[in-house]
Amino acid sequence: MNSTIENFNYPNTLVREYNHWVLLLRPKQVTIGSLVLICKDEKESISTISKESHLELFSVIKEIESVLKSVLNYNKINYLALMMVDRHVHFHIIPRYKNSVLWNQLSYEDESWPKAPVLSECIDISKNDFEDLKLMLKTRFSKND
C-alpha cells in the first residue's frame, strides 16, 4: 500500500477494496458519507496510472454513486483530485446535500451548500456513529459483489 492509503488510516477506514483502488471512509467527514478513493499504483498524476486502473475506475464510480444515492440520497457529488499533501492519485468524494440528512437519529448539514466544499471544515460525528456508518457502507458495497 502506498503512503497516501496509509495516511487515510487504512485498514481502519476501509469500506471496499478493488483490484486497483481502495475506498475508505474519510476520517474527517466534510459531509456525511465523505469517502476517499485511492489508486494502489505508486503514481502521482492521473495520466500515469495503469490502463487497468483507468478501466476499473469507471465501474467503481458507478458503484459509489449508486450506493451513496441509495443510502444517503445526496443531491450532488463532488470529486476532488488535489494530490498536494497526499501525493498519490486519489479522489476526495464529497456527497452534497441541499437539506439536512438524518443519520443514526442525528441531523447533519452541508454547511457550504451550494458552494465548493471546504475540506478543512468537518462535521461533528461521534466515533460510534463513524463506525456505524463505515459498517453500513461496507455491507452495502459488499452486496454488489
Per-residue pLDDT band at 145 (split at 50, 70, 90) = low
For residue 143, pLDDT beyond 90: no
Provide, rounded to the nearest whole percent, the portion of the chain with pLDDT above 90: 97
pLDDT at residue 142 in the model: 87
CATH code linked to domain 3-142: 3.30.428.10
pLDDT of 144 above 80: no
- Average of pLDDT values for 11-36? 98
Output the CA–CA distances (angstroms, integers) from residue 12 to 52, 105, 119, in the order listed: 26, 24, 20
56-72 as b/e: b if 16+ CB within 10 A: bbeebbebbeebbeebb
Contact indicator for 125, 32 with CB cutoff of 8 Å: yes
- Per-domain residue ranges for the chain? 3-142
DSSP assignment of 49-75:
S-HHHHHHHHHHHHHHHHHHHHHH--S
